[in-house]
Chain A
């Protein structure tokens, strides 16, 4: 899928990080708007109407979570969080508050660009039809509800299918444990995470070629799971 360029709002109080993001993203034909605080970020968001926002959680003037919540009141613009390694709770909280994905510092350029592409694609897809997922020999047809690997039909249980459906719908994006649990067990609140892990293991056993070293259904430690982008 080819993507048009977009306007990206970069919010970080570190000039070095802003410089890095600006250079990298401009080289890929994105238009960059910068902000170094929560206050400027919010006004920029209203004025320049960006297609995606890269937001550092540790801003000097306000808590990043509040910024996310405030943006979400008026806009569904994709938000990518920049966070540190040990802050799993912060990541989960940001995702729960409405952020779309996160990138852990320090990050590589490839990873960054992949995340942005995914975010922008999902934005375009918002009103689009149910896609067909195809990656490394795995084909998921959400319309016909057919899953095949290397041409062979896979038989999935309803729960496994429910989980896979969510992952396919948000392919390339991280999905929190909570999100997946809600999708597969809509009736039950506060499910033991053990169920989810067991189903993910079973799902891997079916869709992965080498379940011990998965390449499609990746674990995001402490946060959730991510299906490789098609």
Chain B
């Protein structure tokens, strides 16, 4: 943290406050730390819990191992124990802590013994401390126990003290996450006494322990470690406290440590060492891996080792960087300056003197150029180096890459031979002195084409040819002239140098080509993403792209109504097994990598990574190497991250666009609903007002009114009731149409009959208009629903009566065409405004009329359209050409004409 200026001295650091706030939501973690087994951690944890229980706090036991110690078992009395989960692994029944039961039980405090325990394979998390983290995240306090030898960064130290390497480790970060650490201390003498009394182990086990592990020197060393670690923790807490209170650190807070890691397995010790250094300095630290041309030649195992080391560093709280590099020392120092690093830690080179003499020692160069940066050189322990030898089998692939193909050597030989021939030809004909220059291009050429070793081979060959064919005495490998001896060696030197440099350039060019190809592909991908409008297309494109660029099998899952659904895959699969689905769900829920090669549910077949926009998980991508390789190398992982980022942006864009569309649609629906409400309230209330007004008036003042007035009022009430009745009918018809409950009953109908029936129904409304009907006498029977068709005609006539002035004509006519049949209702009103012609059949649309009170309900024509369409016809509106007036045309295909019955007696 940079030094604050004076004004900021009292202000708490936001980071510190955030950390504290997070701590308040989470459950608190208390660790009972001991130097060795048997010091009484579990006993102490239980007795503290009993006290809490007496205070009325809800304490339950998640898991406690008493190891048959009687004193400890007694302490368990009266505490609620959550039954353990039975787990069968390789034929053995194991009892594991029931994580889900604890989360469901939601106690205030849960006791989880032995934090460093490894869970049975197939459990949700491979390690118990991960279970504990989940419990804390759920807001439950956890009491747990831990021995100092299980702390990851002390693993090597403890192993060197006790000569026993512990396999169960917990990351240092969990100690830092702990809100409280209580050291359970016991002097070595007392512990050994307890051991001898059989209070820790029984019988032989106790003796074996006394002989090997529980020696006074071991115990003293372990005790020191535990005390120091606790002291360090107390110190950290104190600092944290001061930061929260706004007290800046007194000493330079700008320390920063950089550790350079390599592919050797000893790198893990290096990282742990760096962590301790950084902790001591109170500094933040960074682990960096430089990808050089050498990285390309690493075996898969070595690449894996690099990835693992980087993960360990991340685990221990470091920032990690993987950067391309060329000259290691310069690159490291450049990074140091960019990141204000004050200390660099590198490991001692294990290369030979000769190699260093030829290439220069990176360490020497670093020290020479480092200026004010401290350089620490870490010595790998012998055991680590030995493990390196044991655990890194010789990788044939590595050599096949370096040695090149036999064909390359043949080709090189060919080019050298050709160049020599040309050289000889020139030498013999022109007698030039410097023909050696003719041969060199062959070496350069093979270096660019075939790499280092073939070109070195070419260099040797060409020098031999040079000597044999061109240096006198010819056709021998001896050299006569001392001048030529010098020229010969100069030739060799130049040949080697050129082959080396060119090969190196070639590798870098290849590197650059790959980089630019990757960049181009990413660019292309982002371009294609930009054109997408559908989520499914996005999913498929992303899956295909990831599969192609990473050479892996890909699945993409998205939550649909709370459940993850497979949305795209490459190659195509239709379902995932349970383990993979569980891992994917977990991944989305916790926003963390899950599955194969990760910390959680490593039993799954794929590695799942979340696609998220900061806070929300959007989807999950699952990858799997076709050859079942467990991990993704850092390079591929970075590429995957880049691809995911692009996909997420596209995802967001598509979702946003969809949201906007939805909002628009919702607004439309809302508008329609408002129109419906307005219409209903208007069309029901208006007639009701007239009816109620007329009737109450009649009831109260009947005697005051003359016969005409009474008749007028009664007529109003009746007309308005009928109007309301028509509206309700239309509303019901509309509902029938909307609900899809309309099933027309088609039967042979006589159009004359239909029109007559409709006219009869609207007789009263049309009383003031002149009606004319023109239907051909030979009009055949039509397959229609009589009721629906009649209603259509009624509505059209009603509409005409409303808009056309009294005493004008309303005309109903029908015509038979070759392929169709049309029915027209025409009036002599003002016609339909041009802009409304298309919208007139929309529900609740009304033509705006300035001065007329008989506005339509906006439903009649919508019902017409619905009914006509249900019967297989079309309806359209327009204006008359011959004069002003509206014309509604109904068109039916001629197939609605009923088949004429065989015989009809038409007259007597």
Instruction: Give Cα distance in the complex from A103 to B779, angstroms.
Output: 32
Q: Residues of A contacting B750 with CB < 8 Å?
A: 197-198, 200-201
User: Contact: B901 with A192, CB < 8 Å?
Assistant: yes
Counting chain A residues whose Cβ lies within 8 A of the other chain, the interface size class is 20 to 34
Q: Residues of A contacting B904 with CB < 8 Å?
A: 195, 198
Interchain Cβ contacts under 8 Å between A and B, 29 examples: A106-B721, A106-B725, A155-B907, A157-B906, A157-B907, A157-B908, A159-B905, A192-B901, A193-B747, A193-B748, A194-B748, A194-B901, A195-B904, A197-B749, A197-B753, A197-B781, A200-B753, A204-B752, A211-B756, A213-B756, A213-B760, A214-B756, A214-B760, A219-B753, A219-B756, A219-B760, A221-B790, A222-B786, A222-B787
User: Contact: B787 with A88, CB < 8 Å?
Assistant: yes
A199 → chain B closest CB, angstroms: 8
A195 → chain B closest CB, angstroms: 6
Instruction: Give Cα distance in the complex from A106 to B724, angstroms.
Output: 11
User: Contact: B773 with A212, CB < 8 Å?
Assistant: yes
Instruction: Give Cα distance in the complex from A165 to B759, angstroms.
Output: 26
A70 → chain B closest CB, angstroms: 30
Further 19 A-B residue pairs, CB within 8 A, beyond A213-B771, A219-B753: A85-B729, A157-B905, A194-B781, A194-B901, A197-B749, A197-B753, A197-B781, A198-B750, A198-B781, A200-B753, A201-B750, A201-B752, A202-B906, A204-B752, A212-B773, A219-B757, A219-B760, A222-B786, A222-B787
Instruction: Give Cα distance in the complex from A200 to B771, angstroms.
Output: 23
Q: Which 9 A-B pairs have the closest CB atoms?
A: A194-B748, A219-B757, A212-B773, A197-B750, A157-B908, A222-B787, A194-B781, A201-B750, A214-B756
Q: Which among A106, A194, A218 has the highest number of chain B CB atoms within 10 Å?
A: A194
B267 → chain A closest CB, angstroms: 84
B 359-383 binary contact with A (CB < 8 Å = 1; else 0): 0000000000000000000000000
A201 → chain B closest CB, angstroms: 5
Q: Residues of B contacting A97 with CB < 8 Å?
A: none
Q: Residues of B contacting A218 with CB < 8 Å?
A: 757, 760
B 882-902 binary contact with A (CB < 8 Å = 1; else 0): 000000000000000010010
User: Contact: A212 with B752, CB < 8 Å?
Assistant: yes
A 102-123 binary contact with B (CB < 8 Å = 1; else 0): 0000101000000000000000
User: Contact: B905 with A212, CB < 8 Å?
Assistant: no
> Is A156 an interface position by the 8 A CB rule?
yes
Instruction: Give Cα distance in the complex from A22 to B750, angstroms.
Output: 40
B 720-735 binary contact with A (CB < 8 Å = 1; else 0): 0100010001001000
Counting chain B residues whose Cβ lies within 8 A of the other chain, the interface size class is 20 to 34
User: Contact: B732 with A86, CB < 8 Å?
Assistant: yes
Q: Residues of A contacting B898 with CB < 8 Å?
A: 194
A91 → chain B closest CB, angstroms: 12
B 784-825 binary contact with A (CB < 8 Å = 1; else 0): 001100100000000000000000000000000000000000
Q: Taking CB as reference atom, which chain A residue is nearest B898?
A: A194
A178 → chain B closest CB, angstroms: 13
Q: Taking CB as reference atom, which chain B residue is nearest A206?
A: B907
Q: Residues of B contacting A202 with CB < 8 Å?
A: 906-907
Instruction: Give Cα distance in the complex from A212 to B757, angstroms.
Output: 9
> Is B755 an interface position by the 8 A CB rule?
yes
User: Contact: A156 with B908, CB < 8 Å?
Assistant: yes
Q: Residues of B contacting A214 with CB < 8 Å?
A: 756, 760
Q: Residues of A contacting B759 with CB < 8 Å?
A: 212-213
Q: Residues of B contacting A194 with CB < 8 Å?
A: 748, 781, 898, 901
Which residues of A in the span 148-203 have a Cβ within 8 Å of any Cβ on B? 155-159, 192-195, 197-198, 200-202
A227 → chain B closest CB, angstroms: 14
User: Contact: A212 with B775, CB < 8 Å?
Assistant: yes
Q: Residues of A contacting B721 with CB < 8 Å?
A: 106
Which residues of B in the span 748-774 have a Cβ within 8 Å of any Cβ on A? 748-750, 752-753, 755-757, 759-760, 771, 773
B867 → chain A closest CB, angstroms: 13
Q: Residues of B contacting A204 with CB < 8 Å?
A: 752
Which residues of A in the span 1-22 have a Cβ within 8 Å of any Cβ on B? none
Q: Which among A106, A202, A212 has the highest number of chain B CB atoms within 10 Å?
A: A212
Instruction: Give Cα distance in the complex from A222 to B791, angstroms.
Output: 12
Q: Residues of B contacting A201 with CB < 8 Å?
A: 750, 752-753
Instruction: Give Cα distance in the complex from A32 to B748, angstroms.
Output: 43
Instruction: Give Cα distance in the complex from A219 to B908, angstroms.
Output: 24
Instruction: Give Cα distance in the complex from A184 to B130, angstroms.
Output: 92
Which residues of A in the span 209-226 have a Cβ within 8 Å of any Cβ on B? 211-214, 218-219, 221-222
B784 → chain A closest CB, angstroms: 12
Q: Residues of B contacting A211 with CB < 8 Å?
A: 752, 756
Contact of B756 among A108, A193, A198, A212 (CB under 8 A): A212
Q: Taking CB as reference atom, which chain B residue is nearest A159?
A: B905
Instruction: Give Cα distance in the complex from A225 to B725, angstroms.
Output: 24
Instruction: Give Cα distance in the complex from A83 to B752, angstroms.
Output: 27
A8 → chain B closest CB, angstroms: 24
Q: Which among A85, A156, A211, A219 has the highest number of chain B CB atoms within 10 Å?
A: A219
